[in-house]
Amino acid sequence: MPQILSSTDADFEARFTALLGMKREDSPDVDATVAAIIADVRTRGDAAVIELTAKFDKLELTPETLAFSPAEIDAYCAQVTPKDRAALELAAERIRAYHARQKPDDARWTDATGAELGWRWSAVSAAGLYVPGGQASYPSSVLMNAIPAKVAGVERLAIACPTPGGAVNPLVILAAKISGVDVIYRIGGAQAIAALAYGTDSIAPVDKITGPGNAYVAAAKRRVFGRVGIDMIAGPSEILVIGDGTGDPDWIALDLLSQAEHDQVAQSILITTSQAEADAVIAAVEAHLQVLERREIAGASWRDYGAVVVVETLAQAAALSNRVAPEHLELCVDDPDALLPAIQHAGAIFLGHWTPEAIGDYVGGPNHVLPTARSARFSSGLSVLDFMKRTTLARMTPDALRAIGPAAETLAISESLQAHGLSVRARLNKLND
């Protein structure tokens, strides 16, 4: 059974605070191991990547086989059924259309002094996407990472996707091809992150690395940050559903389980103003756990980290949700638009009874790479902007420099930066000649 809380209980605040503080991330002390792997890859390049792949993935590679060949890509793509191909293409089309609207505009203007100011946006030159292998090999994640990069204008896009024992998911290969990926490497782990960040003889370095992974991948991304950009450090999946008693308990139960089945440390929370809805959803979850294919994983998640919270008002529900700052938030209420302004922190919001979070994972259009572990308080999901950078522009005219230059000189002197001040004064003196 999940935790069951009521806002009217005397110990509610203490129990809810404890719920927020539950440690779900599997964070073994891997940093020293990862540091050694990165150092090895930087020193020995391809040889280190090949040895580590043989050790961890039981796959023997050569510099020539680190990446899939065009013929291999075509062969794996041919294995995908027409139905699966059509679904991937629909998802790609919708994701591409949504993200195209995110592309920002350049701007230039002249202010009152006559100075010309502005900014321009440009894409990073190369990006590397990490795609987990094995059971967590998701073609949808390829689309969600690669398509925004291509929309942004990234010139070279590489994927690192481990293939333990040589096992390949054809859907992942097809998703990469549909998304416009240039090269697919069959490597993973910290060694793949190091290779993408620093490069080897066979693997060209990139400017930004995105995509989820295990504790070793997360630790490697932390270590290479600064050498390259990263998106975020992803934690276990989470969903919070706000209900008001008007929803279908079976639908809500399935929505909660859609995240619970990801991982034993995923978290599913229902906050509702209806005790009857709370009871019905709990019963529906238990019924589905009898037959769900991934019932052992989902059951452990629901038992250890699930929660059902009964509150008196939707305003209370929104306030508690903001404290959780969930990765996914469903507003399964009669009037979601009325509640929406009260929501301040969430990675993605799904409005109304007919919008299951699972639609967002695949074909909705918005990105499913989202902040977890309460980081939606200060960060956003993956977007086109993650693959772009803003460069400021400025042009002074003589009149503009005459108007604002003396203030710059004054500030430079106050900071004891003489050359700064002199560089402005030299031009001001020229104006006075």
Q: Which of 7-21, 23-37, 85-99, 398-412 has the lowest mean pLDDT?
A: 23-37
Rounded to two decimals, what is the model's pTM? 0.94
Do 153 and 301 sit in the same domain of this protein? Answer: no
Do 147 and 255 sit in the same domain of this protein? Answer: no
User: Of 230, 255, 280, which one is at a domain's C-terminal end?
Assistant: 230
Q: How confident is the model at residue 137 (pLDDT cuts 50, 70, 90)?
A: confident
- What Cα–Cα distance (Å) separates residue 294 from each residue in 24, 91, 397, 401? 19, 24, 67, 67
CB 34 within 8 A of CB 218: no
Rounded-to-integer distance, Cα 334 and Cα 318, Å: 15
The one catalytic residue among 99, 262, 288, 328: 328
Do 305 and 358 sit in the same domain of this protein? Answer: yes
pLDDT beyond 70 at 196: yes
Residue 382 lies in a domain: no
pLDDT beyond 80 at 25: no
Rounded-to-integer distance, Cα 43 and Cα 23, Å: 36
Question: If you compute the radius of gyration of the chain from its CA atoms, what whole number of angstroms results?
Answer: 26
Render pLDDT for 217-275 as a digit per residue (tens, 0 to 9).
Answer: 999 999 999 999 999 988 899 999 999 999 999 999 999 999 999 999 999 999 999 99
pLDDT beyond 90 at 129: yes
Tokens (6 digits) for 114: 């006559």
Tokens (6 digits) for 352: 């109304």
What's the rounded mean pLDDT across residues 133-154? 90
What's the rounded mean pLDDT across residues 90-99? 98
Do 64 and 145 sit in the same domain of this protein? Answer: yes
The one catalytic residue among 238, 261, 327, 357: 327
Do 209 and 315 sit in the same domain of this protein? Answer: no
- What Cα–Cα distance (Å) separates residue 425 from each residue in 269, 305, 419? 62, 64, 10
Residue 19 lies in a domain: yes
Q: How confident is the model at residue 149 (pLDDT cuts 50, 70, 90)?
A: very high
Do 177 and 41 sit in the same domain of this protein? Answer: yes
**Which residue range(s) make up the domain with 415?**
396-432
Specify the pLDDT at position 1. 86
Do 187 and 140 sit in the same domain of this protein? Answer: yes
Known catalytic residue at 353: no
- What Cα–Cα distance (Å) separates residue 64 from each residue in 53, 54, 60, 69, 291? 14, 15, 12, 9, 46
Do 255 and 210 sit in the same domain of this protein? Answer: no
What's the rounded mean pLDDT across residues 403-422? 98
User: Of 186, 210, 230, which one is at a domain's C-terminal end?
Assistant: 230
Do 147 and 8 sit in the same domain of this protein? Answer: no
pLDDT, mean over the chain: 96
User: Of 348, 364, 380, which one is at a domain's C-terminal end?
Assistant: 364
Residue 388 lies in a domain: no
pLDDT beyond 60 at 135: no
Do 163 and 45 sit in the same domain of this protein? Answer: yes
Specify the pLDDT at position 29. 81
**Total of domains in the chain:** 3
Render pLDDT for 341-354 as a digit per residue (tens, 0 to 9).
Answer: 999 999 999 999 99
What's the rounded mean pLDDT across residues 303-311? 97
Q: How confident is the model at residue 26 (pLDDT cuts 50, 70, 90)?
A: low
Is 386 exposed, middle or buried, given 0-12, 13-18 or 19+ CB atoms closer than 10 A? buried
pLDDT beyond 90 at 164: yes
Residue 49 lies in a domain: yes
Specify the pLDDT at position 22. 86
Do 219 and 248 sit in the same domain of this protein? Answer: no
pLDDT beyond 90 at 432: no
Residue 254 lies in a domain: yes
Residue 327 lies in a domain: yes
Starting at the edge strand found earlier in the chain, the sheet holding 307-310 runs 3-6, 307-310, 267-272, 238-243, 328-332, 348-351
Give the other-Cβ count within 10 Å of 184's Cβ: 26
Render pLDDT for 368-394 as a digit per residue (tens, 0 to 9).
Answer: 999 999 999 999 999 999 999 999 999
Specify the pLDDT at position 27. 61
pLDDT beyond 90 at 134: no
CATH number at residue 40: 3.40.50.1980
In the block, residue with structure tokens 């390049």: 45
Known catalytic residue at 51: no
Residue 218 lies in a domain: yes
Do 57 and 206 sit in the same domain of this protein? Answer: yes
SS3 per-residue string spanning the chain? CCEEEECCCCCHHHHHHHHHCCCCCCCCCCHHHHHHHHHHHHHHCHHHHHHHHHHHHCCCCCHHHCECCHHHHHHHHHCCCHHHHHHHHHHHHHHHHHHHCCCCCCEEEECCCCCEEEEEEEECCEEEEECCCHHHCCHHHHHHHHHHHHHHCCCEEEEECCCHHHCCCHHHHHHHHHHCCCEEECCCHHHHHHHHHHCCCCCCCCCEEECCCCHHHHHHHHHHECCEEECCCCCCCEEEEEECCCCCHHHHHHHHHHHHCCCCCCEEEEEECCHHHHHHHHHHHHHHCCCCCCHHHHHHHHHHHCEEEECCCHHHHHHHHHHHCCCEEEEECCCHHHHHHHCCCCCEEEECCCCCHHHHHHCCCCCCCCCCCCHHHCCCCCCHHHHEEEEEEEECCHHHHHHHHHHHHHHHHHCCCHHHHHHHHHHHHHHHC
Residue 356 lies in a domain: yes
Rounded-to-integer distance, Cα 277 and Cα 66, Å: 53
In the block, residue with structure tokens 């203007």: 109
